[in-house]
Structure 1
Amino acid sequence: MRILLWHVHGSWATAFVQGRHRYVVPVLPDRGADGVGRARTWDWPATVTELPPERLRHEDFDLVLLQRPHEVELAATWLGRRPGVDLPAVYVEHNTPEGSPGRQRHPLADRDDIPIVHVTHFNDLFWDNGRAPTVVVEHGVVDPGLRYTGELAAGAVVLNEAGRRGRVVGADLVPRFAGVAPVDLFGMDSAAFVAGLGTSAVTAHQDLRTQDEMHTALARRRVYLHPTRWTSLGLSLIEAMHLGMPVVAVAATEVVEAVPPGAGVISTDVARLLREFDSLMHEPEQGVAMGRLARTAALARYGLNRFLADWDDVLDRVVSREVVSP
């Protein structure tokens, strides 16, 4: 089938477009948020094409995949067809609800013609989905391969816009871990955040050109640190597990499901996380063993083939106008 989707979350989209369909992403001259076009730092197949908005009205699509609330109206304007009414549609919810957990009503909660696909069971549980049909398709990633060396006695953490997002992503915890061992921060705007910390124990790395380069750099660090308090399950965490990295993570949201015993240390006790972080810096062999378990678990639960098969099932049911349910 032919699917229209916006390039919103690069890692998620990279996995999704590995499927057997044809994919179209809008592109604008400035490649802004509503028209990023094809990925330039991820490896996308030739089955993904980009088209400007003025071309979309004249194209045939089997389904439109929505990921942000305003895309419902944007798709109707650009396509001349209403998602869920004139054209089958599905809405992917990548995020945990903001505001009061468990009480926030989803933007599509009053519609029953556009199913909501949550990327974690936690999201499905905590959003008020109203009468919208929902289903969970857990994350999948393109396997970067076992790359872990742990040759650098440092922690690696991936946080985009750490300064703006602050406590939500655990940015305030990074200096505490850096007081135990050096921490290398990867992600957008990491340099500005690190500059404001006033410590040399945290180093910013935002000059890597591709996702492949970042994976190699991450795997050289001894521990993957995941300090996030409140967000959907980070794909960088799953990718680190695929790389064979041991994990030290705050036990919040879906992390408690994603990281099994032996694959890392998860806890809400920051003092314990600091101790384990320090221990892994001095026991590299333990890190190797934990990382192997992490990779095995990630391949089993978040493998690409399972992800694509689950999505094919959902897409087939949406296009045929069948009821989508767990």
Structure 2
Amino acid sequence: MRILLWHVHGSWATAFVQGGHDYLVPVVPGRGPDGRGRALTYPWPPNVREVSWDRLREEDVDAVVLQRPHEADLVERWLGRRPGHDLPAVYVEHNTPTGAIPHTRHHLADRTDITLVHVTYFNDLFWDSGRAPTRVIEHGVPDPGYRYTGDLPRAGVVVNEPVRRRRVAGTDLLPTFAKAVPLDVFGMKVTGLPQRLGLPLGTFEDLPQEVMHSELARRRVYLHPYRWTSLGLALIEAMLLGLPVVALAGTEAVEAVPPGAGIVSTRVATLTAALEGFVADPARAAVIGKAARAAALTRYGLDRFLSDWDFLLREVCTQRKLSRWT
């Protein structure tokens, strides 16, 4: 099957393109948001092919995976086909709703021709999806392998744009946690964060995923301070690496981290004590980290994720009878 999708969320796309299909990713001059092409810091297989936006009409596309509201218009302009009408389409909603929660209505709520795919059951519960056909396909994460050493008595945090996303990402909580244990922050636009917060943080910006995983696995514990995010895939990656996790009990984290795999709470004091406990007890941290890895492998395995997507894409293409892949 030949699937068109945009490079929007690197971690999710890295899992999605591991399937047995041909994946087309648009490229625009300057590789802006509507055409980044292939990922530079994630390992993508060779069956992901870049196509210039003005050559897409020449491609025999079987289905499109939409991820942002304006992409339906891009498909119509660039391919001359309408998603949901003469091109099978699904829309992946990566984000939690914003605004007047829980009354936030999805922009596809009045459409029945495009399947709305939520990546967590929390999102499915909180979005008002209206009449749109919905499905939940939970995340799948390529297994980086057990790498945990925990030789550095520090907590690792992964967050992109921590300044702009201050309360969403829980960046404002880092000073409290940093009083308890040393913190290292990985991600995009983290340079300058120590100065902004007045903290002696370690920062690691834009590392290739392979390098980041190896570095993260040296930290004694993983901290997930997000208040309002769908489900940060770095949390699942940390669990797969074998790190014990300490997570704010927001959105889907309460489902992702079962008892015995880490500490989840809305109480900052409880989370702070948990960080201190793991840093002070390497043996216990290693045991809890192995349980975290087992839990992540069971729930967020790549084979299940790809199988779920294959089933849905076949279903959508068959219903529309618009694809050769039926």
Do they fold alike, i.e. is TM over 0.5? Answer: yes
Q: Secondary structure at the match of 2:147?
A: coil
TM value normalised by structure 2: 0.97
Which amino acid is the alignment partner of residue 299 of structure 2? R
Q: For residues 16-60 of structure 1, what are the alpha-carbon distances to aligned partners after superposition, in whole Å with 9 as ceiling and x for unaligned?
A: 000011100001121111100011111111111000111001211
The answer for the alignment partner of 1:288 in structure 2 is 286
Structure 2 residues without counterparts, runs of 5 or longer? 321-326
The answer for the alignment partner of 1:215 in structure 2 is 213
The answer for the alignment partner of 2:296 in structure 1 is 298
TM value normalised by structure 1: 0.97
Write the distance in 2 (CA, Å) between the matches of 1:135 and 1:245. Answer: 31
Q: CA deviation at 1:237?
A: 0.2
Write the distance in 2 (CA, Å) between the matches of 1:207 and 1:6. Answer: 20
Which amino acid is the alignment partner of residue 63 of structure 2? L
Paired residue for 1:268, among 236, 261, 266? Answer: 266
The answer for the alignment partner of 2:83 in structure 1 is 83
Query: In the alignment, does 2:130 pair up with 1:137?
Result: no
Q: Secondary structure at the match of 1:153?
A: strand
The answer for the alignment partner of 1:230 in structure 2 is 228
Contact 2:187-2:206 within 8 A present in 1 as well = no
Q: For residues 275-318 of structure 1, what are the alpha-carbon distances to aligned partners after superposition, in whole Å with 9 as ceiling and x for unaligned?
A: 11111110011100000000000000001001000111111101
The answer for the alignment partner of 2:74 in structure 1 is 74
The answer for the alignment partner of 2:204 in structure 1 is 205
Q: CA deviation at 1:207?
A: 5.0
Q: CA deviation at 1:181?
A: 0.9
Contact 2:188-2:206 within 8 A present in 1 as well = no
Which amino acid is the alignment partner of residue 100 of structure 2? S
Write the distance in 1 (CA, Å) between the matches of 2:148 and 2:102. Answer: 38
Write the distance in 2 (CA, Å) between the matches of 1:228 and 1:198. Answer: 20
Q: Secondary structure at the match of 2:165?
A: helix
Among all aligned residue pairs of Structure 1 and Structure 2, give the percentage whose two residues are the same amino acid.
Answer: 62
The answer for the alignment partner of 1:321 in structure 2 is 319
Map of 1:190-201 to 2, 5 A cutoff? Answer: 190-200=190-200
The answer for the alignment partner of 2:20 in structure 1 is 20
Q: For residues 176-205 of structure 1, what are the alpha-carbon distances to aligned partners after superposition, in whole Å with 9 as ceiling and x for unaligned?
A: 1111111000111111322211121x1211
Return structure 1 stretches of 4+ with deviation > 4 angstroms: none
How large is the RMSD of aligned CA atoms in angstroms?
A: 1.1
The aligned length equals 321
Write the distance in 1 (CA, Å) between the matches of 2:158 and 2:100. Answer: 26
Q: Secondary structure at the match of 1:320?
A: helix
Structure 1 residues without counterparts, runs of 5 or longer? none
Q: CA deviation at 1:107?
A: 1.0
Query: In the alignment, does 2:53 pair up with 1:53?
Result: yes
Q: Secondary structure at the match of 2:15?
A: helix
The answer for the alignment partner of 1:161 in structure 2 is 161
The answer for the alignment partner of 2:241 in structure 1 is 243
Write the distance in 2 (CA, Å) between the matches of 1:51 and 1:195. Answer: 41
Write the distance in 1 (CA, Å) between the matches of 2:231 and 2:246. Answer: 14
Write the distance in 1 (CA, Å) between the matches of 2:118 and 2:199. Answer: 39
